[in-house]
Structure 1
Amino acid sequence: MAIDKDLLEVVLDAVRPSLQADGGDCALVGVDDETGVVTIEMTGACAGCSLSEVTISQGIERVLRDNVPGVTGVRAVM
């Protein structure tokens, strides 16, 4: 099932203010439509933060899975 990239960007835009409040952000790198895995890059203060894995798994991934059909997971690239 193909993931709606426009919806994905809208949902990412909704979580960005929380990241930006702490001096960070994220950028969409790619989407694997076969596995449903979204790849993002953490930027700014989030790039080196020890809590970025928690932010991804319990924040960004949860929101994307709940709001974008087909998303099964999120992984980060550095």
Structure 2
Amino acid sequence: MSLKEKVEAALNTVRPHLQADGGNVELIDVSDDGIVKVKLVGACGSCPMAAMTLQYGVTKAIKDAVAEVKEVQSV
């Protein structure tokens, strides 16, 4: 399984929670050095809690599941 596939699988664990609130997360890029770029979309894109969702939901899910990931960035 590629690094990108691992990250996508991790995102699939948080997607139902985001979708329940009318949002979602898109995987934009995964670099070879462990930098993941994601974009919160839908209701999540404009939510005042987006930064916390990214840090405590999306980033935690990715880093817990994929040890190679060093950083998650929102674009």
C-alpha RMSD of matched pairs (Å): 1.2
Query: TM-score normalized by structure 2?
Result: 0.90
> What percentage of residue pairs aligned between the two structures are identical?
38
Task: Output the CA distance in 2 between the equivalents of 1:55 and 1:72.
Answer: 18
Matches within 5 A, 1:27-42: 27-34=26-33, 36-42=34-40
Compute the displacement of 1:69 (Å). 2.1
* Count of paired positions: 74
Query: TM-score normalized by structure 1?
Result: 0.87
Give every structure 1 segment of 4 or more consecutive aligned residues whose post-TM-superposition deviation is greater than 4 Å.
Answer: none
Q: Which runs of 5+ in 1 are unaligned?
A: none
Matches within 5 A, 1:36-51: 36-51=34-49
The reply on whether 1:15 has 2:14 as its aligned counterpart is yes
Task: Output the CA distance in 2 between the equivalents of 1:37 and 1:53.
Answer: 18
